[in-house]
């Protein structure tokens, strides 16, 4: 009898074909709607493998409901939606999709930095609302990127890829990481500094750390107060790293100049969130890896991870 796999979001048929050849595949048939919690709990009851998204919280309750579960394949680099500790105790392998989204997320990070600095969304709305009636010297003026100092908090694959892009703009690059990366410094021209120095000296702060409880609200009121009044905060990592209440106050009080955010503590973001009332914030719906090619690679890697664990051979991107 074939083992059962449950997939929590509709994927292209070409991607899941590999699984269908060897397993009984059940898939939530919605592309734009997350699987309801109760449906997830019911569907995993017979599952040997689970392919999930960041939108699903895979906690002890889910694992208790899935006595046959052997592998959780998370279609993302981050895996803070999965209780890895509980999975390890239960002998369940957890996998992710590193590497394939590095360049695409770096592109988006730099694009968000440029859009925020030059007020592109605000300027587009200004034109569309019929406010463009004349030209004036300080109309919609923003911040220069070329020659500015970029501080990167988290100097892994994506952080280094962003640094390479920044070098092309003649930026001075600082980085903070829990360990120094000498070889990457040579490749990017970046200089290691402690977090407080990075915050004080940078014109742009790019958050690119993986999320963990240790870095929850790493950037809060104290850290924001260290930044320049002309500084711009960019977060394309995880929402919980930045204290959104403190950020709102800092932006409203002009403690910092602007923020560009692709991630939030609660996703999807509540439309009543106070950050959405501010003109100096650019917000995106967590699209860091959202190129067609990259999302397909992520799906294929998530499928390969799940398949290889269950058949017992091949490369697996394990996180536990």
Active-site positions read: 238, 267, 286
Cβ partners under 8 Å of residue 157, min gap 6: 98, 99, 102
CB-based burial label for 214 (10 Å; 0-12, 13-18, 19+): exposed
Cβ(257)–Cβ(230) below 8 Å? yes
Instruction: Give me the residue label for tokens 């709607």.
Output: 33
Q: Which of 71, 47, 15 is nearest to 308 (CA)?
A: 71
Q: In angstroms, what CA-CA distances link 56 with 4, 51, 62? A: 19, 10, 10
- Tokens standing for residue 98: 């590193």
Q: What is the dihedral of CA 272, 277, 283, 285, to 10 degrees?
A: 20
Strands 149-153 and 172-176, by their bridges, are parallel
Rounding to the nearest 10 degrees, give the CA dihedral for residues 190, 191, 195, 198. -70
From the list 142, 137, 138, the residue with the least C-alpha distance to 116 is 142
Say which residue the tokens 């500094």 belong to. 193
Nearest to 69 by CA among 37, 47, 93, 91: 47
């Amino acid at each position: 009898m074939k083992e059962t796999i449950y997939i929590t979001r509709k994927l292209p048929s070409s991607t899941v074909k590999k699984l269908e050849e060897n397993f009984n595949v059940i898939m939530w048939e919605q592309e734009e709607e997350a699987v309801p919690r109760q449906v997830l709990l019911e569907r995993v009851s017979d599952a040997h493998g689970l392919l999930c998204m960041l939108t699903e919280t895979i906690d002890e309750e889910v694992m208790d409901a899935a006595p046959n579960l052997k592998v959780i394949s998370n279609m993302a680099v981050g895996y803070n939606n999965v209780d890895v500790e509980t999975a390890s105790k239960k002998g369940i392998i957890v996998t992710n999709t590193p590497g394939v989204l590095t360049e695409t997320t770096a592109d988006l990070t730099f694009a968000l930095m440029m859009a925020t600095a030059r007020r592109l969304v605000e300027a587009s709305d200004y034109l569309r609302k019929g406010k463009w009636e004349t030209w004036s010297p300080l109309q919609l003026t923003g911040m220069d990127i070329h020659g500015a100092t970029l501080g990167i908090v988290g100097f892994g694959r994506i952080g280094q890829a962003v640094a390479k892009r920044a070098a092309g703009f003649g930026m001075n690059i600082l980085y903070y990481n829990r360990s120094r990366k000498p070889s990457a410094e040579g490749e990017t021209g970046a200089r290691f500094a402690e977090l407080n120095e990075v915050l004080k000296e940078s014109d742009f702060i790019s958050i690119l750390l993986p999320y963990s409880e240790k870095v929850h609200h790493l950037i809060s009121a104290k850290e924001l107060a260290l930044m320049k009044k002309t500084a711009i905060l960019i977060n394309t990592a995880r929402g919980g790293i930045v204290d959104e209440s403190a950020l709102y106050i800092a932006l409203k009080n002009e403690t910092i100049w602007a923020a560009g955010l692709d991630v939030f503590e609660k996703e999807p973001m509540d439309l009543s969130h106070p950050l959405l009332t501010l003109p100096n914030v650019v917000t995106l719906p967590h699209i860091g890896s959202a190129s067609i090619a990259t999302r397909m690679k992520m799906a294929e890697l998530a499928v390969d991870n799940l398949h290889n664990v269950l058949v017992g051979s091949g490369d697996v991107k394990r996180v536990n």
